[in-house]
Structure 1
């Protein structure tokens, strides 16, 4: 269920790139995703932040409004000081969970973008099975200072050896 919701959110918020990723960009993006580094460095990931705010606000209200209606009589009888503290906690929770939501949407969009590029360059190696191994091979290629134009062949050769 969450996958379908995330897919729908990404299709609304994510601005697809005009051009497909190059092999080196794909390998770098895969490494970033596998190593849990900052996703902001992945080329081609562009968002309409206003749409992301709007979707988050709608989802948040779909959760909060029924809860507020359910507990309205209890909340109306509370002391004003407790209400102020609850308002502060609510605001903190709202903005704290937004960042988690934003990072999850970005991560899902990055993974979707990488899977699309993966189909172009490595169609015979399933993403789910080989993405961690490819990230390690790419790191090895960078450590060995292999030329940019030979990295693709190096990675494919290593994958064939391990298969």
Structure 2
């Protein structure tokens, strides 16, 4: 259920790229995701920030409003100084969890983009099984300075050899 909600959020906030990833971009994107680097470096991962804020605001309110209604009697009897401190803590929590939410959505969208391109270039090698291995082969190819026109063949040959 949680995955379907994340999928709907991605569909709503993620802007599909006009062109699919090229093979070398796929390899770089896969390396970025496998090595947990900055997702911003992946071409084609674009979000409508306003929609992301809207979704987060709605989710936050679905959690906070019932809690506020549940604890209203207790909260109204608190000293105003405690209420101010609680408001500051909830504000910190709101903005702190937004960044976590944003990174999680962007990471999932990047994985989805990579999986779509993976099906185009490497359909016989399941992404879940070969993602880390391909990232390692990509690093080796970069170190060996394989020319662009031989790059795809080098990666596929290495995968076939290891299989």
What is residue 36 of structure 1 aligned with on the other side? Answer: 36
SS of match in other structure, 2:60:
helix
What is residue 13 of structure 1 aligned with on the other side? Answer: 13
How many residues are paired up? Answer: 163
Could you report, residue by residue, the CA deviation over 1:32-70 in whole angstroms, capped at 9, with x for unpaired residues? 000000000100011100000000000000000000000
Shift of residue 2 of structure 1? 1.5
Shift of residue 150 of structure 1? 1.0
What's the C-alpha RMSD, in Å, of the aligned pairs? 0.5
Alpha-carbon distance in 2 for matches of 1:50, 1:77: 37
Alpha-carbon distance in 2 for matches of 1:11, 1:50: 14
Could you report, residue by residue, the CA deviation over 1:81-115 in whole angstroms, capped at 9, with x for unpaired residues? 00000000000000000000000000000000000
Shift of residue 149 of structure 1? 1.3
What is residue 23 of structure 2 aligned with on the other side? Answer: 23
**TM-score normalised to the size of structure 2?**
0.99
Shift of residue 148 of structure 1? 1.3
Could you report, residue by residue, the CA deviation over 1:94-137 in whole angstroms, capped at 9, with x for unpaired residues? 00000000000000000000000000000000001000000000
Alignment of 1:58-97 (within 5 A): 58-97=58-97
Alpha-carbon distance in 2 for matches of 1:39, 1:136: 18
What is residue 134 of structure 1 aligned with on the other side? Answer: 134
The ranges of structure 1 where at least 4 consecutive aligned residues each deviate by more than 3 angstroms after the TM superposition are none
Alpha-carbon distance in 2 for matches of 1:132, 1:2: 25
Larger mean Cα displacement after TM superposition, 8-17 or 142-151? 142-151
**TM-score normalised to the size of structure 1?**
0.99
Alignment of 1:112-123 (within 5 A): 112-123=112-123
